Amino acid sequence: MEIEGNFNTVEYRSGALRLIDQRRLPAEESYVECRSAGEVAEAIRAMTVRGAPAIGVAAAYGMAMAVGRSAHLGPEAQIAVLDEAAAVLSGARPTAVNLFWAIRRMREAAEASEFAGEKLAEELLELAHEIHRDDIATCRLIGDHGAALLSPETSLLTHCNAGGLATAGYGTAGGVIRSGFREGKVSRVFVDETRPFLQGARLTAWELSRDGIPVVLITDNMAAYCMRLGKIGAVVVGADRIAANGDVANKVGTYGLAVLAREHKIPFYVAAPMSTIDMDTPSGDEIPIEERPPEEVRRIGDTLIAPEKVEVFNPAFDVTPAGLVDALITERGLVRLAEGESVGSLYP
């Protein structure tokens, strides 16, 4: 499947899901192959693959492989295997709603299908391919809608990684950056290192450099000063879940950037596909926030940087209130949340 960029985040071939191992970047570009839903779930849990849209695509392939491996069973047994795969994948990470969206879409397709055995396996694999293709097309639209918001030669700030590595290949916030750079709207990108997992330093700086987009890496606690110095023209980030009222769950540190952007009168944009919006969750208060292992904070790689037994609080995400988001950028267009526009306006 042809994608934008010069690496494949997610690729299905010869009965296996091939994932770029994001834990090893930027030092080593290596790939992991998954041949079962359980292996896909472990790759999601271990952050071999990460980013809400990429997780959703990977989960769809995990479901398809589960059905393929059970094609010799009867229809009822095949659906039971699919349900087991759904349960395993659902437990991998709790915050990214795209995971549950993809699982539900695959499950509903299986229920509605008139086929079983090999035919059902083929049908669900084609649906996984469709979800994959749709993500790339969706991110291109998000990128183009977002670029239209930018003035020429804007210097952007982004947090974590919401580029090609977090999606099927183009990016959400990264898509805005790519489209904006192509149109002369983006001059350079400041990237927060994004402690403790360093997705900004390891991943975003790597992929932007490979795309030839000027990038400046900063530590997380430098953002406010960069804003004060006038180095930042706008902030654009991705999202892992957006509640019905527009509250945004994204990588921890996003909320602080939104507060800083408001103080410095800098536009703050969130780029995400419609599949990231969870209309069943009324507000950010109801979004489950994953807590990661304490060793991610106590160590950088294998190096201990804090007392070995010190207590650690390590939420993977925080929640930014809708009123701090100048615009939500989706494939269907914009919602100016800070001006009181409703997420519901995106739905016919």
Active site amino acids = 240
For residue 26, whether the previous peptide bond is cis, meaning omega lies within 30 degrees of 0, is yes
Alpha-carbon gap, residue 120 to 308, rounded angstroms: 51
Give the 3-state secondary structure of the chain.
CCCCCCCCCEEEECCEEEEECCCCCCCCCCEEEECCHHHHHHHHHCCCCCCHHHHHHHHHHHHHHHHHHCCCCCHHHHHHHHHHHHHHHHCCCCCCHHHHHHHHHHHHHHHHCCCCHHHHHHHHHHHHHHHHHHHHHHHHHHHHHHHCCCCCCEEEEECCCCCHHHCCCCCCHHHHHHHHHHCCCEEEEEEECCCCCCHHHHHHHHHHHHCCCCEEEECHHHHHHHHHCCCCCEEEECCCEEECCCCEEEECCHHHHHHHHHHCCCCEEEECCHHHEECCCCCHHHCCCCECCCHHHHEECCEECCCCCCCCCCECEEEECHHHCCEEEECCEEECHHHCCCHHHHCC
- Residue 222: CB partners within 8 Å, gap ≥ 6? none
Residue 214's identity, in one-letter code, is: P
CA distances to 26, 106, 343 from 77, in Å: 43, 16, 40
Q: How many CB atoms lie within 10 A of CB 345?
A: 12
Tokens of 178: 């790519």
The sign one gets for the Cα dihedral 185, 57, 33, 289 is positive
